[in-house]
Each structure stands twice: as structure tokens, then as C-alpha cells.
């Protein structure tokens, strides 16, 4: 009994250890609606190549900029955060749109120096109210990706959601800012549906 338990325990451990890279490599690139497969990310990074799918949250950020008529070409943009799912692909997309980008991360010294220069700010950090009003260039456009729960005893859930940007301060300085909730979050979901539709149409040779 004990011996067989040991054997099954070791196989259980190898089953439970989900390896992110193995999973991402296993997803068929034609069905990679998250846009996380290394081939898709590689194509996103290369000039003259097109990814089959653009990651949903960064795609939603660019869609918001387009829909609100915000010019990206030639603008200074800062992306705060460099994760594989948001910050890095957001920076690649802005660069593809001919912005000049800076990427700020946890090892950046004096992040506000970079942020103050930017015409467009995309923040994907996960730190409530990190970006203050006096870090923002007057007239800048702010896309706040952060979804951060903060304790709020007055809310029925016991918490409320805030972004990475101090909204009350930033809305006085920015020319446009996305709220949290009701900003990028719902766009992510819409872009996942958009990518799923693109995938289905391609698979069925549908226009």
C-alpha cells in the first residue's frame, strides 16, 4: 500500500507541475486566441511579419486609442510593466504604430522621469494608485490596465477595484483616461471574442 502510494505520489507531482512554456508551446497557433504562443509573439516583434493573433489586453488598449481618434504615430509612449501578457506586447504594438517607446519596470530608477515625458501612458503593474497626478504631462492620454482590489468596508464585496493610476489626480491633468472598472477590463473580454471569431472564420475559410 505504502509503496504504491509513493509511486502514485511522484506521478501526481509531475502531473500537478504545470509548466507554462510547455502549455504555450502545445497550443495550436491557429487556435492561439490569447496570442501567447512564442511564434505569435515573435511575429509581433518582427518588422514585415504579422501575428495570427494579437494578445487581447494590449489589442484592447490600441483599439481604445484608435476609436477615440488618438494619434499614435511619432508620439512618445511609456509602458509601465513588461509582462509577457500585457506590458511587452503593448510596447511592441505601440512601436508597430510608430510611437517611440520607453518601458518602465520594477528596476527602473526614477520612473516618473520617463512617465513625465510621455504623450501616451499604458500602465500594467498591479500597484494601486502608483502613478500620481504630478507624474503626468498635461494633456497626456492614459490607458490604465491595472485591476487592483483595495479594502472597502462600504462596498458589499468588502473591496473595490482601482487602477495603477491615481484617477482623481490624473483626470485633472490628462486629456483622456480609462476608468477602473469599466475601462480596459471589458475591452480584454471583447478582444478575446474578436480573436475567437477570427480563428473560427480562418479555420472554416470564411470571409
Ligand X SMILES: NC(=O)C1=CN([C@@H]2O[C@H](COP(=O)(O)OP(=O)(O)OC[C@H]3O[C@@H](n4cnc5c(N)ncnc54)[C@H](OP(=O)(O)O)[C@@H]3O)[C@@H](O)[C@H]2O)C=CC1
Ligand Y SMILES: Nc1nc(=O)c2c([nH]1)NC[C@@H]1CN(c3ccc(C(=O)N[C@@H](CCC(=O)O)C(=O)O)cc3)C=[N+]21
Q: Are 114 and 136 in contact (CB under 8 A)?
A: no
Residues 58-87 that bind ligand X (CB under 6 A): 80-83, 85-87
Which residue in the set 185, 191, 194, 195 belongs to the binding site for ligand Y (CB under 6 A)?
185
Torsion sign across C-alpha atoms 192, 96, 70, 174: positive
Which residue in the set 161, 162, 170, 191 belongs to the binding site for ligand Y (CB under 6 A)?
161
For residues 90 and 123, give the distance between their C-alpha atoms in angstroms, rounded to a whole number. Answer: 10
- 191 scored as a contact of ligand X (CB under 6 A): no
Q: Which does 139 bind (CB under 5 to 8 A by kind): ligand X, ligand Y, none?
A: none
| Least spacing, CB of residue 155 vs ligand X, in Å | 18
Cβ proximity to ligand X, 148 vs 194, nearer residue: 148
Torsion angle, alpha carbons of 163, 106, 103, 68, to 10 = 0
For residues 75 and 95, give the distance between their C-alpha atoms in angstroms, rounded to a whole number. Answer: 10
Here's the x/- map for ligand X, 20-59, by CB under 6 A: it reads as: -------------------------------------x--
Residues 34-93 that bind ligand Y (CB under 6 A): 85
For residues 184 and 103, give the distance between their C-alpha atoms in angstroms, rounded to a whole number. Answer: 19
Q: Which residues of 104-139 are buried (b: 16+ CB within 10 A; e: fewer)?
A: beeeeeebeebbeebbbbbbbbeebbbbeeebbbee
Which residue in the set 48, 138, 156, 182 belongs to the binding site for ligand Y (CB under 6 A)?
182
Q: Which does 181 bind (CB under 5 to 8 A by kind): ligand Y, ligand X, none?
A: ligand Y
- 149 scored as a contact of ligand Y (CB under 6 A): no
Judged by the rule CB under 6 A, the positions of this chain that interact with ligand Y are 85, 147, 161, 180-182, 185-186, 188-189
Amino acid at each position: 500500500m505504502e509503496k504504491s502510494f509513493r509511486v502514485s505520489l511522484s506521478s501526481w507531482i509531475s502531473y500537478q507541475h504545470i509548466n507554462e512554456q510547455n502549455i504555450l508551446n502545445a497550443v495550436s497557433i491557429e487556435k492561439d486566441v490569447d496570442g501567447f504562443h512564442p511564434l505569435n509573439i515573435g511575429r509581433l516583434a518582427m518588422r514585415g511579419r504579422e501575428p495570427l493573433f494579437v494578445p487581447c489586453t494590449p489589442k484592447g488598449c490600441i483599439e481604445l486609442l484608435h476609436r477615440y481618434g488618438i494619434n499614435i504615430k511619432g508620439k512618445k509612449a511609456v509602458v509601465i510593466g513588461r509582462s509577457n501578457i500585457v506590458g511587452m506586447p503593448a510596447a511592441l504594438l505601440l512601436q508597430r504604430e510608430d510611437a517611440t517607446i520607453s518601458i518602465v519596470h520594477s528596476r527602473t530608477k526614477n520612473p516618473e522621469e520617463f512617465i513625465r515625458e510621455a504623450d501616451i501612458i499604458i500602465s500594467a503593474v498591479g500597484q494601486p494608485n502608483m502613478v500620481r497626478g504630478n507624474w503626468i504631462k498635461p494633456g497626456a492620454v492614459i490607458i490604465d490596465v491595472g485591476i487592483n482590489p483595495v479594502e472597502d468596508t462600504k462596498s458589499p464585496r468588502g473591496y473595490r477595484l482601482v487602477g495603477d493610476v491615481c484617477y482623481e489626480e490624473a483626470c485633472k491633468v490628462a486629456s483622456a483616461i480609462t476608468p477602473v472598472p469599466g475601462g480596459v477590463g471589458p475591452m480584454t473580454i471583447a478582444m478575446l471574442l474578436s480573436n475567437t471569431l477570427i480563428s473560427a472564420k480562418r479555420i472554416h475559410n470564411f470571409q
